Amino acid sequence: MLAKCGIQVLMSDLFAGPGTRLLERLDAPAPYLARVGSLRRLIDDLDVEIDLFARLIRGRLAADDGYRAVQTIPGIGPTLGAVFVAEIGDVHRFPGPTQLASWAGLTPKHHESDTHVHRGRITKQGSRLVRWAAIESVQALGPGTGAGRLKHRVGDRRGRNIGKTAAARQQLGYVYYALRDGHVRSLTRRPRVAA
């Protein structure tokens, strides 16, 4: 609407601070002003609905043991934890972490004929959102974590992206046990007993 009126917008966010002031003192023909006002009211109504559902989701996640357990995994915070809980749903439908990784499309393609076996790229079949969240959760992991060590070890040998995929597969294993048991035993350090 503003472009049709020849009004240049110099700010990145038109609906906060200076952008709002620009919209309030807008000098344009009446039909354009009516349309801008209508769109602003629509945005306000949608913001109310978004806030309502965000509060409902926060309330449900606060009572979810799996959500709290998933956030104990290095690299997973509130947002990625919510993605895993919402997208995976009942984790008991998977017999193990390998099946969860396969469902997320993080396992390599497997072609076999007689004595020839060829493993290719990951299948990318299944939940695109879980696959994204798993890979995103290992992006910044350092070598001080299990998935981070795997990412660097495999990445040095086979390439950075393959290392991230291997670490994401391991991360999904942690997510599986966090959702199933409410904690991840392999992440807790046990003191070594001298023999």
> Which residues have CB under 8 Å from 68's CB, separation 6+?
none
Domain co-membership, 80 together with 42: no
Q: By C-alpha distance, which of 70, 169, 57 is closest to 122?
A: 169
What tens digit of pLDDT does each residue of 95-107 get? Answer: 999 999 999 998 8
The Cα–Cα gap between 186 and 135 comes to 20
> Which residues have CB under 8 Å from 81's CB, separation 6+?
61, 67, 70, 71
Residue 168 lies in a domain: yes
Domain co-membership, 24 together with 44: yes
Domain co-membership, 32 together with 73: no
Q: By C-alpha distance, which of 184, 181, 151, 191 is closest to 169?
A: 151
pTM: 0.74
Query: Residue 29's domain spans which residues?
Result: 18-62
Domain co-membership, 31 together with 96: no
What tens digit of pLDDT does each residue of 61-89 get? Answer: 988 999 999 999 999 999 999 999 999 99
